[in-house]
Amino acid sequence: MLEPQSILISESDIQQRVRELGAQISDDYADRELVLLGVLRGAVLFYADLARAISLPLRFEFLQLASYYDDTKPSQVQLIRGGSDYLAGRHVLIVEDIVDTGHTLKFLIGHLHLLNPKTVKVCTLLDKPSRRETAVSVDYCGFEVPDAFVVGYGLDYAQKYRNLPYIAVVEPEH
Ligand code: 5GP
Protein backbone atom coordinates (compact mmCIF):
# COMPACT_ATOMS: atom_id res chain seq x y z
CA MET A 1 0.00 0.00 0.00
CA LEU A 2 1.24 3.49 -0.84
CA GLU A 3 1.61 5.93 2.00
CA PRO A 4 2.57 9.59 1.78
CA GLN A 5 6.31 9.77 2.38
CA SER A 6 6.94 13.25 3.71
CA ILE A 7 5.05 16.38 4.57
CA LEU A 8 5.81 19.07 2.02
CA ILE A 9 3.51 21.84 3.34
CA SER A 10 2.22 21.78 6.91
CA GLU A 11 -1.35 22.44 7.97
CA SER A 12 -0.38 25.70 9.67
CA ASP A 13 1.54 26.97 6.62
CA ILE A 14 -1.49 26.21 4.42
CA GLN A 15 -3.88 28.00 6.77
CA GLN A 16 -1.60 31.04 7.01
CA ARG A 17 -1.23 31.27 3.22
CA VAL A 18 -4.99 30.84 2.65
CA ARG A 19 -5.63 33.78 5.00
CA GLU A 20 -3.13 35.89 3.02
CA LEU A 21 -4.75 34.95 -0.29
CA GLY A 22 -8.21 35.72 1.10
CA ALA A 23 -7.06 39.17 2.26
CA GLN A 24 -5.46 39.91 -1.12
CA ILE A 25 -8.55 38.79 -3.06
CA SER A 26 -10.81 40.82 -0.74
CA ASP A 27 -8.74 43.94 -1.52
CA ASP A 28 -8.56 43.29 -5.25
CA TYR A 29 -12.31 42.68 -5.64
CA ALA A 30 -13.56 45.31 -3.17
CA ASP A 31 -16.87 46.79 -4.44
CA ARG A 32 -17.22 44.07 -7.08
CA GLU A 33 -19.47 41.02 -7.05
CA LEU A 34 -17.35 37.90 -7.20
CA VAL A 35 -18.25 34.39 -8.30
CA LEU A 36 -15.96 31.77 -6.78
CA LEU A 37 -15.87 28.90 -9.27
CA GLY A 38 -14.52 25.70 -7.71
CA VAL A 39 -13.11 22.84 -9.75
CA LEU A 40 -14.29 19.52 -8.29
CA ARG A 41 -13.11 17.47 -6.62
CA GLY A 42 -9.53 18.42 -5.72
CA ALA A 43 -10.18 22.07 -4.86
CA VAL A 44 -12.95 21.45 -2.33
CA LEU A 45 -11.00 21.91 0.92
CA PHE A 46 -9.03 24.87 -0.41
CA TYR A 47 -12.28 26.41 -1.70
CA ALA A 48 -14.04 26.04 1.66
CA ASP A 49 -11.18 27.67 3.59
CA LEU A 50 -10.53 30.37 1.00
CA ALA A 51 -14.21 31.37 0.83
CA ARG A 52 -14.18 31.95 4.61
CA ALA A 53 -11.01 34.06 4.30
CA ILE A 54 -12.64 36.42 1.75
CA SER A 55 -14.56 39.27 3.36
CA LEU A 56 -16.88 39.98 0.43
CA PRO A 57 -20.28 38.69 -0.63
CA LEU A 58 -19.60 35.63 -2.79
CA ARG A 59 -21.59 33.50 -5.18
CA PHE A 60 -20.64 29.80 -5.07
CA GLU A 61 -20.42 27.86 -8.35
CA PHE A 62 -18.71 24.54 -9.15
CA LEU A 63 -17.83 22.45 -12.14
CA GLN A 64 -16.18 19.11 -12.68
CA LEU A 65 -13.66 18.16 -15.33
CA ALA A 66 -12.15 14.86 -16.42
CA SER A 67 -8.72 14.46 -18.01
CA TYR A 68 -7.74 11.55 -20.23
CA TYR A 69 -4.05 10.88 -20.62
CA ASP A 70 -2.38 9.26 -23.59
CA ASP A 71 1.36 8.78 -24.17
CA THR A 72 1.21 10.04 -27.73
CA LYS A 73 -0.78 13.26 -27.41
CA PRO A 74 -1.49 15.97 -24.85
CA SER A 75 -4.15 15.14 -22.29
CA GLN A 76 -7.75 15.60 -23.37
CA VAL A 77 -9.98 17.49 -20.96
CA GLN A 78 -13.77 17.28 -20.80
CA LEU A 79 -16.43 19.13 -18.82
CA ILE A 80 -18.50 16.59 -16.88
CA ARG A 81 -20.90 18.94 -15.13
CA GLY A 82 -21.40 22.60 -14.19
CA GLY A 83 -20.50 25.91 -15.83
CA SER A 84 -23.81 27.76 -15.47
CA ASP A 85 -25.31 30.57 -17.53
CA TYR A 86 -25.08 32.68 -14.37
CA LEU A 87 -21.44 33.49 -15.17
CA ALA A 88 -22.33 35.87 -18.03
CA GLY A 89 -21.30 39.43 -17.18
CA ARG A 90 -19.77 38.38 -13.81
CA HIS A 91 -16.31 38.54 -12.29
CA VAL A 92 -15.24 34.90 -12.02
CA LEU A 93 -12.37 33.55 -9.93
CA ILE A 94 -11.46 29.95 -10.74
CA VAL A 95 -10.32 28.01 -7.66
CA GLU A 96 -8.04 25.10 -8.59
CA ASP A 97 -6.06 22.57 -6.56
CA ILE A 98 -2.93 22.41 -8.73
CA VAL A 99 -1.69 23.61 -12.10
CA ASP A 100 0.65 21.05 -13.63
CA THR A 101 0.96 20.85 -17.44
CA GLY A 102 -1.64 23.65 -17.77
CA HIS A 103 -3.93 21.73 -20.16
CA THR A 104 -6.83 21.57 -17.71
CA LEU A 105 -6.74 25.29 -17.00
CA LYS A 106 -6.38 26.20 -20.66
CA PHE A 107 -9.44 24.10 -21.50
CA LEU A 108 -11.41 25.60 -18.62
CA ILE A 109 -10.61 29.22 -19.51
CA GLY A 110 -11.55 28.53 -23.15
CA HIS A 111 -14.85 27.03 -22.01
CA LEU A 112 -15.63 29.93 -19.66
CA HIS A 113 -15.07 32.54 -22.36
CA LEU A 114 -17.97 30.97 -24.29
CA LEU A 115 -20.17 31.93 -21.31
CA ASN A 116 -19.23 35.64 -21.58
CA PRO A 117 -18.01 36.45 -18.06
CA LYS A 118 -16.82 40.02 -17.42
CA THR A 119 -13.42 38.86 -16.10
CA VAL A 120 -11.80 35.49 -15.42
CA LYS A 121 -8.90 35.06 -13.01
CA VAL A 122 -7.24 32.01 -11.51
CA CYS A 123 -6.41 31.12 -7.92
CA THR A 124 -4.55 27.84 -7.40
CA LEU A 125 -3.35 26.32 -4.17
CA LEU A 126 -0.33 24.71 -5.83
CA ASP A 127 1.67 25.36 -8.99
CA LYS A 128 4.26 23.09 -10.62
CA PRO A 129 5.78 25.51 -13.15
CA SER A 130 8.56 23.09 -14.15
CA ARG A 131 5.94 20.76 -15.70
CA ARG A 132 4.17 23.36 -17.86
CA GLU A 133 3.39 22.28 -21.45
CA THR A 134 1.08 25.14 -22.38
CA ALA A 135 1.17 28.78 -21.29
CA VAL A 136 -1.49 29.75 -18.75
CA SER A 137 -1.51 32.68 -16.39
CA VAL A 138 -2.08 32.19 -12.68
CA ASP A 139 -3.22 35.29 -10.77
CA TYR A 140 -3.07 33.93 -7.20
CA CYS A 141 -0.90 31.01 -6.13
CA GLY A 142 -0.58 29.43 -2.69
CA PHE A 143 2.71 27.59 -3.15
CA GLU A 144 5.05 26.56 -5.95
CA VAL A 145 5.96 22.88 -5.62
CA PRO A 146 8.67 20.74 -7.22
CA ASP A 147 8.03 18.02 -9.78
CA ALA A 148 6.68 15.38 -7.38
CA PHE A 149 3.26 13.75 -6.99
CA VAL A 150 1.52 15.41 -4.06
CA VAL A 151 -1.57 14.47 -2.07
CA GLY A 152 -3.67 15.84 0.77
CA TYR A 153 -5.84 18.91 1.42
CA GLY A 154 -8.17 17.81 -1.39
CA LEU A 155 -5.65 16.15 -3.69
CA ASP A 156 -5.86 12.39 -4.11
CA TYR A 157 -3.98 9.35 -5.23
CA ALA A 158 -6.58 6.86 -6.50
CA GLN A 159 -9.23 8.72 -4.46
CA LYS A 160 -7.22 8.42 -1.21
CA TYR A 161 -5.62 11.05 1.03
CA ARG A 162 -7.97 13.92 0.13
CA ASN A 163 -8.81 14.48 3.80
CA LEU A 164 -5.22 14.93 5.01
CA PRO A 165 -4.95 18.50 6.42
CA TYR A 166 -1.44 18.92 4.92
CA ILE A 167 0.29 18.36 1.55
CA ALA A 168 2.56 15.31 1.33
CA VAL A 169 4.62 13.62 -1.37
CA VAL A 170 3.75 10.13 -2.57
CA GLU A 171 6.61 8.06 -3.97
CA PRO A 172 5.44 5.77 -6.78
CA GLU A 173 6.02 2.03 -6.22
CA HIS A 174 8.78 0.46 -8.33
P1 5GP B 1 -2.79 19.78 -15.71
O2 5GP B 1 -3.88 19.73 -16.72
O3 5GP B 1 -2.35 21.15 -15.31
O4 5GP B 1 -1.62 18.89 -16.11
O5 5GP B 1 -3.32 19.00 -14.46
C6 5GP B 1 -4.19 19.47 -13.56
C7 5GP B 1 -4.81 18.32 -12.79
O8 5GP B 1 -3.94 17.18 -12.68
C9 5GP B 1 -5.04 18.78 -11.37
O10 5GP B 1 -6.28 19.45 -11.24
C11 5GP B 1 -4.97 17.47 -10.61
O12 5GP B 1 -6.23 16.85 -10.62
C13 5GP B 1 -3.99 16.62 -11.39
N14 5GP B 1 -2.63 16.67 -10.82
C15 5GP B 1 -1.53 17.22 -11.36
N16 5GP B 1 -0.45 17.09 -10.56
C17 5GP B 1 -0.90 16.42 -9.46
C18 5GP B 1 -0.26 15.97 -8.24
O19 5GP B 1 0.94 16.14 -7.97
N20 5GP B 1 -1.08 15.34 -7.35
C21 5GP B 1 -2.39 15.11 -7.57
N22 5GP B 1 -3.08 14.47 -6.61
N23 5GP B 1 -3.02 15.51 -8.70
C24 5GP B 1 -2.28 16.16 -9.63
**Residues 39-97: tens digit of each pLDDT:** 999 999 999 999 999 999 999 999 998 877 665 555 688 887 776 778 999 999 999 99
Q: What is the CATH number of the domain that holds 161?
A: 3.40.50.2020
- Is the shortest distance between the CB of 97 and ligand 1 below 6 Å? yes
Per the structure, how many domains does the chain have?
A: 1
Of 63, 97, 109, 164, which is best to mutate to test ligand 1, by the most ligand atoms within 8 angstroms of its C-beta? 97
Return the minimum-mean-pLDDT range out of 22-26, 66-70, 91-95, 158-162. 66-70
Of 98, 127, 137, 166, which is best to mutate to test ligand 1, by the most ligand atoms within 8 angstroms of its C-beta? 98
Atom number, ligand 1, closest to the C-alpha of residue 151: 22
**Assessment of whether the complete model's pTM goes beyond 0.85:** yes
Please say if the pLDDT value at position 174 is more than 70.
no
- Rounded CA separation 135/106 (Å): 8
Residue range(s) defining the domain that contains residue 23: 4-68+76-170
CB 59 within 8 A of CB 51: no
SS3 35: strand
Please say if the pLDDT value at position 1 is more than 70.
no
**Residues 112-147: tens digit of each pLDDT:** 999 999 999 999 999 999 999 999 999 999 999 999
Helical (H) or strand (E) element with 18 = helix 11-28
Query: Where are any strands of DSSP class E within the chain?
Result: 4-9, 34-40, 58-68, 76-82, 91-99, 119-127, 140-144, 150-151, 167-170
